[in-house]
A and B are shown apart, each in its own frame.
Chain A
Amino acid sequence: MDQTTDMARRSRLPIRARLATTVGGAAATVSRLAGRGDGSVIGGVIGLRLEPGLLSLLAQGRQVVLVTGTNGKTTTTRLITAALGALGQEIASNAFGANMEAGLTSALSRAPDATLAVLEVDEKYIPAMLEATAARVVVLLNLSRDQMDRAAEIWMLARRWRAALAAAPGCRVVANADDPLVAWAAGEARQVTWVGAGQRWRDDSWCCPHCGSHLLRDGDDWRCGECSNRRPPVSWVLTGDQVIDPMGRARRLDLALPGRANRANAVVALAVADAFGVSTAQALRELRNVTSVAGRYTQVSRRGCEIRLLLAKNPAGWLEALDVLAPPPVPVLLSVNAQGPDGRDTSWLWDVDYRRLRERPVFVDGERKMDLAVRLEADEVPFQLVSGIDEAVGLARAPHLEVLANYTAFQQYRAVLGRAV
């Protein structure tokens, strides 16, 4: 970081905020040196203790994009950052998923000169973060069941989003029109760019969020059988591997990242880039260069076996991830934990349909492997219990292994694989 410009920006902040960013920055450095993570939260925590209004002070004068949703936040944040890279300006971002107030504060204080900021935000914090950052753009990806032991219920979340966005007339919302809860949440916002990004998981949107009646569906189209709530007309659409822009022009995406969910995230990123004047052709070039996101989708070689790591945290995420797996007979290793960041309740395993894993070797690992074992037994999926990734590699004796893990299980594998990923 350039010390002089850093100082210049800080000198524009009130004295308490200046002190708060300095002390917070020092704490982050100490935390990094002490090996306690990447320091992406601790700096913000300390800074906010000294100056509770630090986030809004740091956000002043910047164009902020907030990205939220149950799934795809980290990847979409990365893709938007890549696309806006075409503008050639420094961009502040919480690229490693520290997505509450302290994480956002740290991201902004680490990049005092960045006039653009692309920030991933936990679903619960959108109303507060929208107010604190006076965001220019808010991205709403999807809303589905996730970590119910600590998250608010999703209909309730949608109501809070709706109220917050209605109260922020200067903010542009980029929202997935194919997710009825998201569409309803964005429904009272003043400026909305609707994206037809698809919705693979539908078990949380059978009913109209407005009146509770059944939604009628025809492909991606939906409408309420009782009230006037219906899918809004979209200006950006994902269809197969193609994006259709608001002028009706189709282009192939050709991403390096795999899967339908990432193609949807990319289309959202193109819509955001467009709002900042970046052409779709330019933005696409940048998006195609993204090959992994915080370790996800990375390939790593271990004892002659090519391992690919996939992260999925909830039923909608697993549904998309199972679609991404290389076809049988490529073996798959599943790992599930239930620590705080995963949610301590494993009930969600019963919302995933595992039957399509029947035709390949399956290995089961993680602190809650027995929960997963009983689940697979119910779906009549044969499997072997293992302890650690190396045992799976040894038993698989295959050139490739697909690994699908939830949050802390994924981080444990990354640590074993030496952070090469």
Chain B
Amino acid sequence: MGYGYPGYAGRGLRLVWIYPDLLSTYGDRGNLLVLERRARLRGIPVDVTLVNSDQRVPPDGDIYLMGGGEDLPQILATRRLRADGGLGAAVHRGAVLFAVCAGYQMIGREFGGAEGQPMEGLGLLDIRSGRGERRGVGEVVADVDPALNVPRLTGFENHQGVTSLGPGAKPLARVLTGVGNGDGTEGAYAGRVLGTYLHGPALVRNPGLADLLLTWAAGPLQPLVPAAEELALRLRGERLAAVGS
């Protein structure tokens, strides 16, 4: 890959980025960097592993990240992940999985292939996705399920998928602006598996969501000193104001 931060030693919180070679369409590295930064600011040591699609997925990660991808890479990545089995084993063991955009569709039971035909997903979340009539492109604002105690989501979506949730998954949020799943909800979660159509660096503008994932993996977190997240909160406020929510 382009670059990785070297020099982590010993056992820290294990962040595993799945297939940056196939699933990293646009700024997906941001999620890794935000999780890493917010963990380290709290004194939690972090190990980062980038797993390319010709490598085995380590089954002992704490948080797995999956990004966006075009149709063909999405299909290839799904095939390889299913054959590998490491991600499924980790999720069944209780690891955290955060997937955006194409990754979100892939972790479901089914998604739409290059010609819209149904493709079998990884079955890690009870959702089914297909192709919508039009592309959802633009800013998204959505109110998160109160049970998760995460502030309002702000992000950018760029997808043509529609996703319906089965009884085993809950909507992550209710859409105020944008398309999301296509039925007024956005994203989905169950246990420690969470997916969203907010593409690319979704955690950058949503530090509360980043902290939710860290809490799932590492337990209760210390609050950050205000200066450490001043810029992120300014960006977040600016984007929410720009959409008029």
Contact = CB atoms under 8 A, between A and B. Distances in A.
A207 B73 contact: yes
B134 to A, nearest CB: 14
Interface residues of A, number: 33
A374 B1 CA distance: 22
A201 to B, nearest CB: 8
Contacts of A375: 30, 204
Interface in A133-154: 145, 148-150, 153-154
B168 interface: no
B7 to A, nearest CB: 13
Given A145-B26, A347-B156, A370-B238, A203 B231 contact: no
B2 A149 contact: no
Given A149-B137, A214-B54, A374-B232, A207 B22 contact: yes
Contacts of B231: 370, 373-374, 377
Interface string A340-363: 000011111111010100000000
B25 interface: yes
Given A349-B27, A373-B231, A207 B76 contact: yes
Contacts of A222: none
B235 interface: yes
B44 to A, nearest CB: 16
Nearest to B29: A350
Interface residues of B, number: 37
Contact of B156 (A214, A345, A351): A345
B82 interface: no
A155 B72 contact: yes
B238 A203 contact: no
A156 B71 CA distance: 9
Nearest to A146: B26
B202 to A, nearest CB: 9
Nearest to B54: A214
A271 B120 CA distance: 47
B73 to A, nearest CB: 7
B201 to A, nearest CB: 5
B24 interface: yes
B42 interface: no
Given A212-B73, A370-B231, A148 B2 contact: no
Given A374-B204, A378-B34, A148 B26 contact: yes
B105 to A, nearest CB: 15
Contact of A350 (B1, B22, B200, B232): B200
Nearest to B139: A344
A214 B54 CA distance: 7
B133 to A, nearest CB: 18
Nearest to A353: B3
A353 B34 CA distance: 15
Given A206-B21, A353-B2, A370-B238, A347 B70 contact: no
Nearest to A201: B2
A303 interface: no
Interface in B65-89: 70-73, 76
B62 interface: no
B29 A351 contact: yes
Interface string A190-210: 000000000000110011000
B30 A347 contact: yes
B73 A345 contact: no
Given A206-B22, A370-B231, A371-B235, A350 B72 contact: no
Interface string A234-277: 00000000000000000000000000000000000000000000
A134 B163 CA distance: 44
Interface centre among A149, A203, A374, A378 (most CB of B within 10 A): A374
Interface string A160-176: 00000000000000000
Given A149-B137, A345-B200, A370 B234 contact: yes
Given A345-B156, A351-B2, A351-B27, 18 more contacts: A148-B25, A149-B138, A150-B137, A156-B70, A203-B24, A206-B21, A212-B72, A345-B200, A347-B26, A347-B27, A347-B156, A347-B199, A349-B27, A351-B29, A353-B2, A370-B238, A374-B204, A375-B204
Q: List 6 tightest A-B contacts by C-beta distance, closest first.
A: A347-B27, A347-B200, A350-B27, A206-B21, A350-B30, A370-B235
